[in-house]
């Protein structure tokens, strides 16, 4: 007797099989594991985006203006004229034997670079919240692009300073400038230190403005006051009070402005100890700024 069994037909499901080798992803976005986890290699990978932001910052500022980039020449010229009227003709402040135009223009040139970097980077999170909330990229790219775009503006104003120096070269009262070698070494070093100070202080303020918007109002006023605490419109040699001179030299920007004038005009002073103090202050400020920036960038979208 044959016994029949009704067995259901066998079905095979074509389920995807796990790959034999692990998948290599082009990009992995991982949370930061600790405070010192600052991935600078990732910033280098996004260097094309960095250059795009540099171009945007430079071209968009005067895109719908009549004079356009000529404002980079007009602004320092007008400021120099105001300083001539106020500090030379009215206040009778000495310029250490240098033609006042060169003295004020040299201070304005280096100061404008620092103040532009500080003002722009201090609003990184607030001004770019719309971009940060839509697409991922290293947030440090934005303040770095600001510092780099301001170098272009500094270069334009630096050419204006060189043109003014060429004009006043015929004046016998112009003091002798340092050697070309010392100038070529000092000027780039000063620019790098100024960029580091502007970037470090700017990202610290930017990290704080995500919660405290009052800082946006205070930063412009504070930068103006800081200019008068720095020998931009007066030489350090005119400060006779020891107490006041101490506080002014405590400002890390003072040795940089003095060294810039020394390299360009041969006046002012260059002290290796004070210059090293500015470098150390810049490194500490930049390090603290990067730590705070990397911490705030993870949660700033909840408060901005």
Contact, 65 vs 71, CB < 8 A?
yes
Predicted confidence (pLDDT) per residue in 218-247, tens digit: 888 888 889 999 999 998 888 888 889 899
Cα(208)–Cα(215) distance, integer angstroms? 8
Q: What is the pLDDT of residue 218?
A: 82
Q: What is the pLDDT of residue 283?
A: 95
**pTM (two decimals):** 0.79
Q: What is the pLDDT of residue 255?
A: 93
With b meaning 16 or more CB within 10 Å and e meaning fewer, what string describes 277-301? bbbebbeebbeebbbbbbebbeebe
Q: What is the pLDDT of residue 153?
A: 87
Contact, 107 vs 261, CB < 8 A?
yes
Cα(285)–Cα(193) distance, integer angstroms? 11
Q: What is the pLDDT of residue 103?
A: 92
Low-confidence ranges of the chain (pLDDT < 70): 1-40, 61-69, 170-183, 214, 298-304
Predicted confidence (pLDDT) per residue in 239-252, tens digit: 888 889 899 999 99
Q: What is the pLDDT of residue 2?
A: 47
Cα(77)–Cα(112) distance, integer angstroms? 12
Cα(49)–Cα(56) distance, integer angstroms? 10
Q: What is the pLDDT of residue 276?
A: 93
Nearest Cα to Cα of residue 73 among 118, 104, 109: 109
């Amino acid at each position: 007797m044959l016994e029949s069994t009704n067995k259901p037909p066998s079905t095979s499901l074509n389920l995807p099989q796990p790959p034999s080798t692990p998948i290599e992803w082009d990009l992995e976005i991982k949370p930061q594991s600790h405070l010192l986890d600052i991935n600078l290699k990732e910033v280098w990978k996004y260097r094309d985006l960095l250059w795009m932001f540099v171009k945007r910052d430079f071209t968009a500022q005067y895109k719908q203006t009549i004079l356009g980039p000529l404002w980079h020449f007009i602004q320092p010229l007008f400021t120099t004229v105001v300083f001539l009227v106020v500090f030379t003709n009215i206040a009778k402040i000495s310029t250490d034997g240098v033609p006042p135009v060169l003295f004020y223009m040299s201070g304005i040139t280096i100061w404008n670079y620092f103040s532009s970097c500080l003002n722009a980077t201090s609003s990184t999170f607030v001004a770019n919240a719309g971009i940060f909330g839509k697409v991922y990229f290293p947030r440090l790219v934005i303040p770095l692009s600001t510092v780099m775009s301001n170098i272009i503006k500094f270069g334009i104003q630096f050419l204006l300073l060189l043109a003014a120096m060429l004009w006043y070269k015929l004046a016998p009262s112009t003091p002798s400038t340092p050697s070309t070698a010392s100038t070529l070494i000092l000027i780039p070093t000063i620019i790098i230190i100024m960029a580091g100070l502007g970037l470090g202080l700017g990202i610290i303020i930017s990290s704080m403005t995500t919660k405290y918007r009052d800082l946006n109002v205070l930063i412009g006023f504070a930068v103006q006051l800081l200019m008068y605490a720095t020998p931009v419109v007066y030489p350090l040699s005119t400060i006779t009070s020891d107490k006041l001179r101490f506080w002014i030299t405590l400002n890390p920007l003072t040795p940089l402005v003095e060294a810039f004038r020394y390299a360009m005009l041969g006046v002012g002073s260059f002290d290796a100890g004070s210059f090293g103090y500015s470098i150390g202050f810049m490194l500490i400020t930049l390090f603290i700024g990067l730590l705070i920036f990397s911490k705030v960038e993870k949660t700033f979208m909840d408060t901005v």
